[in-house]
Amino acid sequence: MKVQIDYDLCMGDGNCNKVCPEVFAYDDDQLIGRVIVDEVPPELEDRVRRAAEECAPGAIVIKE
């Protein structure tokens, strides 16, 4: 699984970082989420899916 953030949509609430800090960082300077891994480890895939579901503007794009 790979994951990206659509920066046209991200509203910077930092929820993805709270749900899965192993995959999403929060950029305090730009006030947006950041993906910090190339490939999502299998054991974190469910939490990345949850982060995507909870991302209000739908900015988290998952590629299986």
Q: Residue numbers of the site for ligand SF4 (CB under 6 A)?
A: 5, 10-16, 32-33, 55, 57, 59-60
Closest CA to 16 of 63, 30, 58, 1: 58
Output 14 or 37, the one with its CB closest to ligand SF4.
Answer: 14
CB of 25 to ligand SF4, least distance (A): 10
> Phi and psi dihedrals of 21, rounded to 5?
-65, -15
Output 30 or 41, the one with its CB closest to ligand SF4.
Answer: 30
CB of 3 to ligand SF4, least distance (A): 10
Classify strands 24-27 and 2-5 as parallel, antiparallel or unpaired: unpaired
| Token pair for 53 | 């579901």
